[in-house]
Structure 1
Amino acid sequence: MKKNMGNADRIIRVIIAAIIAALYYTNVITGTLGIVLLVLAGVFVLTSLISFCPLYAPFGIKTCPMKKG
């Protein structure tokens, strides 16, 4: 797996995941929607940690800077 996520993308995903988690644990979002969003937040954190988004690969999207070579 080659990295396809830049630092800005990773930071934004972690911030969104933290917001979703805070909203879930303060009972602002509940029920099935809350669980689905919490799972999505977990996916955001996981993809941020490994710097790879599987949905970017088929479309050739890369948010990481290109290396000069």
Structure 2
Amino acid sequence: MMSNNVGSTDRIVRIALGVALLAFFVFGDGKAHWYGLLGLIPLITGTIGICPLYRVFGINTCPRKPG
């Protein structure tokens, strides 16, 4: 099982960005509004707390666990 690598501040920013992009998809017009679906990526990674790209690059924004 993968451990979380996205910290709480990072998660809040990702979720907010994801919601904003999805709002662009819902309320935008023209062909460019489809780019709003990219908001699913930060929304999902922020919600589950795991970012595959962070794992590839060895980044971890979670606070260290004692021990």
TM-score by length of 2: 0.82
**How many aligned positions are there?**
66
Give the structure with the larger helix fraction: 2
**Cα RMSD over matched residues?**
1.5
> What residue number does 1:61 align with?
59
Q: Is the 8 A contact 2:7 2:62 kept in 1?
A: yes
> What residue number does 2:34 align with?
35
TM-score by length of 1: 0.80
- The answer to which structure, 1 or 2, has the higher relative contact order (CA under 8 A, 6+ apart) is 1
Identity, % of aligned pairs?
A: 36
Name stretches of at least 5 consecutive residues in structure 2 with no aligned partner: none
Name stretches of at least 5 consecutive residues in structure 1 with no aligned partner: none
